[in-house]
Chain A
Amino acid sequence: MEQTTNQLQEQFQQRVDEEQKIEPRDWMPEKYRQTLIRQISQHAHSEIIGMLPEGNWITRAPSLRRKAILLAKVQDEAGHGLYLYSAAETLGISRDEMYEQLHSGKAKYSSIFNYPTLSWADMGAIGWLVDGAAILNQIPLCRPSFGPYARAMVRVCKEESFHQRQGFECLLQLSKGSEVQRQMCQDAINRWWWPSLMMFGPKDDESPNSKLSMQWKIKRFTNDELRQKFVDMIAEQIKLLGMVLPDPDLKWNEQTKHYDYGAINWEEFKQVIQGNGPCNKERLEARKKAWADGAWVRDAATAHAAKQANKKAKANSLTKETQQP
């Protein structure tokens, strides 16, 4: 007997509530599918766009060891993009379609990557602050209800936490260095701190997608909860660097047992999301250019593969003919 949509919906929610994984072939509400496609592809795009600001320093890394670390790190980001695109593909959207959405501006990516990387210290600050914020956002995603996403995220998180330690170590070296290096370090922290706080998204009462995502266990903590965790973590870690966070209101609150922090400039956040960040146009152009310049390469690869398949088919049919009595 055919089940009604309502019954399916109930069974689905029950499985989610019991912490069972939803797999690609299972029934799922259309809105759940769309929410996941939006979230996973946005995450994948962020990894790919995120290669650009750090890629900006690969050819200028100050030592061969740092160059190797950075190159491997940016390559990891590409790998994350790959697993995430693959996870999103299981929901019935192709990678080309997702690229199309990115290039047309329909799909978003993390607004943090629209800020410029101006000095070597930015490589450390991105690792420590940006990857640090990303990890807090992502650890709960290692157990979302959707199986392929959960499995991709386990790998992503392992590598991200490694990146965060590398970023911190890069800044630690600078903090122990010359006056110029210490200034570089502080300047990078000043520029990346507030955009990192914005990575957790709008305040809870202004976050349109949160409620349903919590119910479906795609999301486990609210934006503000995660942001607070991040502030508490960084406010302690920065003491080891002997640097300061650029927030005069940052202060330990004995009652809440958390750090209080100053007001975030949400107007800036809105502007960057709307395309007015310092590097929005450059980042998107770089991706569009890579895609357009690569068109002849992809066409040639497809054409060659088709020729090879043809040859094989012909050879097979010849073998069959000769085998006939």
Chain B
Amino acid sequence: MLQQSISKLISEDQQIQYLLHLADNALILSHRNSQWCGHGPILEQDIALTNIALDQLGQARNLYQYAALLITEKTGIPTTEDQLAYLRDVGEFKNCLIAELPNGDWGQTVLRNFLMGSYQFFLYQELQQIATGQLKAIADKSIKEITYHVRWSADWVVRLGDGTTESHARMEQALELLWSYTGEMLEPSDFEQELIGTQSSYIKAAWEAKIAAVLAEANLDHPKNDWMQLGGKKGIHTEHLGYLLAEMQFLQRAYPGLEW
């Protein structure tokens, strides 16, 4: 468990909440992508997706380290990236629900990466303009990686949407499943308002245009359902996150306070 004063700070400080939100998105998506390592459909693509998982893990670490630094400064209690990743429970994670859903098949995995990656791309592009200091530096570094993630995943969405009858049907199904989780990314929560609030409608429009273009190229119908699942940013998650954290945090929970 995190010390109480740290938990309290996290629940009140919007800047730290925002950093944790970005970090949690990156870490949870990385975790899901890393589950493919050794099980991909094509060796080259196994390597590519593991590489993406590594990039996302690196982004998460930069953000957690920055948040840990701020927490240390504000509470006087030395705090580390690992405490933030390994000692918070489900209700304290602020990632979007779409990141924590199980991988499903390869189609669902690449589609999730495309939907999230495109959002991250426009978001980080804005952060490059409006953020300062460490966060700007993190955005500058991340955008290069995310640009590749979007290109790679969009290529796969097109390939599978257009490929065979079976792949097309699988992509339709994946889109149907994931679509209602996309709205949460584009709906700014309280802690996002200050930094990115005014840019959110631009990010939303840019994201929608990108998605529409790629879906059209992939011969996939744009989903009509506009009911969106929300909650992740407020700590109200799907049932899946508990299992993910139980696995990820196992050693830190079973043997507290050790160096590894």
Q: Interface on A for B, CB 8 Å cutoff?
A: 48, 51-52, 55, 58-68, 71-72, 74-75, 78-79, 81-82, 85, 95, 120, 173-174, 177-178, 180-181, 286, 289-291, 293-304, 307
The 0/1 profile, CB within 8 Å of A marked 1, for residues 1-38 of chain B is 00000000000000000000000000100010011011
Which of B51-59, B117-125, B223-231 forms part of the interface with chain A? Answer: B51-59
The reply to whether B38 and A71 form a contact with Cβ atoms under 8 Å apart is no
- B167 to chain A: closest residue by CB: A300
Name A68's contact: one of B40, B57, B106, B166 (CB within 8 Å): B57
Q: Interface on B for A, CB 8 Å cutoff?
A: 27, 31, 34-35, 37-44, 46-47, 50-51, 53-54, 57-58, 60-61, 64, 81-82, 85-86, 105-107, 158-160, 162-164, 166-167, 170, 247-248, 250-252, 255, 258-260
Taking A174-B260, A300-B160 as known contacts, 11 extra A-B pairs with beta carbons closer than 8 A to each other, sorted by chain A number, are: A58-B34, A59-B31, A63-B86, A64-B60, A68-B57, A68-B61, A294-B106, A298-B42, A299-B163, A300-B166, A307-B162
B256 to chain A minimum Cβ distance, whole angstroms, is: 10
Q: Which 5 A-B pairs have the closest CB atoms?
A: A294-B41, A300-B163, A300-B167, A51-B38, A62-B260
The reply to whether B85 and A296 form a contact with Cβ atoms under 8 Å apart is no
Name A78's contact: one of B47, B85, B260 (CB within 8 Å): B47
Main SS of chain B's interface residues? helix
Residues on the B chain within 8 Å of A293, using CB:
39, 41, 105-106
The reply to whether B61 and A301 form a contact with Cβ atoms under 8 Å apart is no
Q: Please report the C-alpha to C-alpha distance between residue A255 and residue B247 in the assembled complex, in whole angstroms.
A: 52
Q: Please report the C-alpha to C-alpha distance between residue A79 and residue B46 in the assembled complex, in whole angstroms.
A: 10
The reply to whether B247 and A59 form a contact with Cβ atoms under 8 Å apart is yes
Residues on the B chain within 8 Å of A304, using CB:
158-160, 162-163
The reply to whether B163 and A55 form a contact with Cβ atoms under 8 Å apart is no
The reply to whether A290 and B38 form a contact with Cβ atoms under 8 Å apart is yes
The reply to whether B258 and A81 form a contact with Cβ atoms under 8 Å apart is no
The reply to whether B248 and A59 form a contact with Cβ atoms under 8 Å apart is yes
Name A181's contact: one of B81, B158, B252, B258 (CB within 8 Å): B258
A18 to chain B minimum Cβ distance, whole angstroms, is: 36
Q: Please report the C-alpha to C-alpha distance between residue A270 and residue B259 in the assembled complex, in whole angstroms.
A: 39
Residues on the B chain within 8 Å of A82, using CB:
43-44, 47
- A79 to chain B: closest residue by CB: B47
Name B164's contact: one of A55, A61, A68, A303 (CB within 8 Å): A303
The reply to whether B43 and A78 form a contact with Cβ atoms under 8 Å apart is yes
The reply to whether B42 and A297 form a contact with Cβ atoms under 8 Å apart is yes
The reply to whether A66 and B260 form a contact with Cβ atoms under 8 Å apart is yes
B26 to chain A minimum Cβ distance, whole angstroms, is: 11
The reply to whether B43 and A75 form a contact with Cβ atoms under 8 Å apart is no
Name B251's contact: one of A78, A79, A120, A301 (CB within 8 Å): A120
* With known contacts A78-B47, A304-B162, A52–B167 Cβ distance under 8 A: no
B65 to chain A minimum Cβ distance, whole angstroms, is: 9
Q: Please report the C-alpha to C-alpha distance between residue A304 and residue B171 in the assembled complex, in whole angstroms.
A: 14
Q: Please report the C-alpha to C-alpha distance between residue A286 and residue B34 in the assembled complex, in whole angstroms.
A: 16
Q: Please report the C-alpha to C-alpha distance between residue A293 and residue B254 in the assembled complex, in whole angstroms.
A: 35
Q: Please report the C-alpha to C-alpha distance between residue A185 and residue B227 in the assembled complex, in whole angstroms.
A: 52
> Would you list 23 pairs from A and B whose C-beta atoms are within 8 A, ordered by A residue?
A48-B38, A59-B31, A60-B248, A62-B260, A63-B260, A64-B57, A68-B54, A71-B53, A71-B54, A78-B47, A173-B260, A174-B260, A177-B260, A181-B255, A291-B41, A294-B41, A296-B164, A297-B41, A297-B42, A297-B167, A299-B163, A300-B163, A301-B163
* With known contacts A294-B41, A304-B158, A64–B81 Cβ distance under 8 A: yes
Q: Please report the C-alpha to C-alpha distance between residue A74 and residue B54 in the assembled complex, in whole angstroms.
A: 11
Q: Please report the C-alpha to C-alpha distance between residue A248 and residue B61 in the assembled complex, in whole angstroms.
A: 45
Residues on the B chain within 8 Å of A58, using CB:
34-35, 37
The reply to whether A299 and B43 form a contact with Cβ atoms under 8 Å apart is no
Q: Please report the C-alpha to C-alpha distance between residue A293 and residue B106 in the assembled complex, in whole angstroms.
A: 9
Name B255's contact: one of A67, A180, A289, A307 (CB within 8 Å): A180
* With known contacts A75-B54, A296-B167, A62–B42 Cβ distance under 8 A: no
* With known contacts A62-B251, A68-B58, A74–B50 Cβ distance under 8 A: yes
The reply to whether A303 and B51 form a contact with Cβ atoms under 8 Å apart is no
The reply to whether B159 and A286 form a contact with Cβ atoms under 8 Å apart is no
The reply to whether B260 and A294 form a contact with Cβ atoms under 8 Å apart is no
Most buried by A among B58, B81, B106: B106
Most buried by B among A67, A71, A300: A300
A295 to chain B minimum Cβ distance, whole angstroms, is: 8
Residues on the B chain within 8 Å of A301, using CB:
42, 159-160, 163
Q: Please report the C-alpha to C-alpha distance between residue A290 and residue B44 in the assembled complex, in whole angstroms.
A: 13
Residues on the B chain within 8 Å of A177, using CB:
258-260
The reply to whether A300 and B251 form a contact with Cβ atoms under 8 Å apart is no
Residues on the B chain within 8 Å of A289, using CB:
39
Q: Please report the C-alpha to C-alpha distance between residue A65 and residue B260 in the assembled complex, in whole angstroms.
A: 9
The reply to whether A52 and B43 form a contact with Cβ atoms under 8 Å apart is no
The reply to whether A290 and B51 form a contact with Cβ atoms under 8 Å apart is no
The reply to whether A78 and B46 form a contact with Cβ atoms under 8 Å apart is yes
The reply to whether A60 and B42 form a contact with Cβ atoms under 8 Å apart is no
The reply to whether B160 and A75 form a contact with Cβ atoms under 8 Å apart is no
